[in-house]
Each structure stands twice: as structure tokens, then as C-alpha cells.
Amino acid sequence: MWNQVKTVLLLGLLAGIALAIGYVFGGTTGLTIAFVLALGINVLAYFFSDKIVLMMYRAREATRHDYPALHRIVDELARSAGIPKPQVYIIPTETPNAFATGRNPKHAVVAATEGILNLLSEEELRGVLAHELGHVKNRDILITTIAATIATVISYAASMARYATLFGGNRENRGAGNILALLFLTILTPIAAMLIQLAISRTREYQADATGAHLSKKPEALARALEKISSAVRARPMRFGSPATSSLFIVNPFTRDFFVSLLSTHPPTEERVRRLKEMKV
């Protein structure tokens, strides 16, 4: 129920920001256009946010013929979790990582990078995939995917506001007040994107870790995988995609400074590893 409430709130936030930008850009006419666009974007975010994310990361479907071991692991874990088997996708990058997306367990996708297949042992990979199926089983993939999509849209809105500030916006609204409003939106929209990221509680990662540990029966394997992935990401962060979608992944795939890590939706890897090593299954 709380995830449904958060979904409505996030979609409402996107609509509000779109309306504000539309009004500043074009007055009443811009407000009307923004209203129509906001409705369309909300529908797209709800029904197609998973496909948008997969396209953003150039993911392709992993066939059983090409990735038999990957399919076998997902098959076994889905049966253990009591959920339909998700579709399996591959992301073409050597940065090791994985994420789950979709509206519900019947429309779920698990995506793994080429790098994670090369880095981890089968036991460790099983732990990571169990974590991702934990997200599916716990039904938090919809809110995560929508939040990531909206945060990306808001980031683009910030860029639009910056361009509007440079070029003066709508001809009828070039007064000092509107220029200040555009500057305000330029500052506000990245903050809003950050707040959306923070709306996804860190507890969901701990819960997925716990669920994944019980599904795989080997929490220490997941702990080793997290350590390996974190170390590899620091050495080779992802070079495409959007940092606004980092909450989808098992570990943030982008380089982070100390301040950003404090505001991350991911708990510290060290704490996740500690909890996993203390876990009894």
C-alpha cells in the first residue's frame, strides 16, 4: 500500500514540475500544453518506464541458447521465490552490475551486465540474482523504476530551464521576475530529483539482501559479490545511462563523492556485507 501511495505522489510531483516549467515558459498556453504532456508522461512512466530504462542501458534480451547458465539460475530462484520467471536481459558493458525492473512479478525483467558475468563465480552471481528477484518478490520494482524515470525527466527539465534562462524564455515573459523563476527552477529541479532518489528508502536494499540470502541459501556469497562489484565500479564506473537511475542497480554504477554517498539510496556496502555475514539461513 505504501508503495502505491509513493507512486501516486511521485507521479504528482512530476506533473507539478512540468506545469511549473510550462507556465514559466509560455504562460497560460504553456501551462495547458504542459498539463497535456504531464498526463502523457505519467501514463508512459507507469506502463513503459521499464522499457525506457532498458533502452537507456542498451539492454538486449538474453536467449537461453547464448546464456544457459544465467537462465538456469533465474529459473531455479524464481521457483524458490514462488514468482513467475522474469525476462532476462544483458547490458553491454564491462562494469559489473545488475537490476530488476517491471510493473509487477508478472511483468518483471532482470538485467545483468556482461561485466558481472565475467567477474563473479556462479555462486556469487546466484546471490546477486537472488537479490534482484528479492526486489521482484517484495514488489518494490515499480516504485523504483518510476522514481528513476521521473528523476531522469527532472534532470532534463533542469537543462531546459538553464537554456531558457540563457535565451530569455517566452517573448511575453522576459521580465526580471520570469528570469528569476527560471533560475529558481534550474536550482530546484536537481534538488527535486535528489529528493525522489531519497524517497526510495535504503531499507529496500537491506530487505532485498535478506530475501536474496534466503533464496540463495548463501549470504556469504552475496556479501563477496557486493565487495567485488563495489571495488570494480570504483575502478570502472559506468560511462552511459543516467545517474538518476542509479537506485535501480544492486550497487551504484557511477562514481560517487563523499557528499553524494551520504544521500545515496544505497546503504554503505560495508554495512550490507556485515549484515549478510551475520545472517543465519
Q: Would you state the pLDDT for residue 66? A: 96
Regions of the chain where pLDDT drops below 70: 1-8, 10-11, 14-15, 17-18, 21-22, 24-26, 30, 34, 38, 41-42, 150-151, 153-201, 255-265
pLDDT the model gives residue 258: 44
pLDDT of 200 reads 61
The pLDDT assigned to 42 comes to: 67
Rounded CA-CA distance 18/34 in Å is: 6
> Strand pairing of 60-61 and 108-113?
unpaired
pLDDT at residue 112, as a whole number:
98
Annotated catalytic sites, by residue? Answer: 132
Topology adopted by domain 57-141+201-277: Zincin-like (3.30.2010)
Q: Give Cα 237 distance to the centre of its chain.
A: 16
Domain boundaries, the chain: 2-55+143-199, 57-141+201-277
The one-letter amino acid code at 94 reads E
Instruction: State the pLDDT at residue 44.
Output: 75
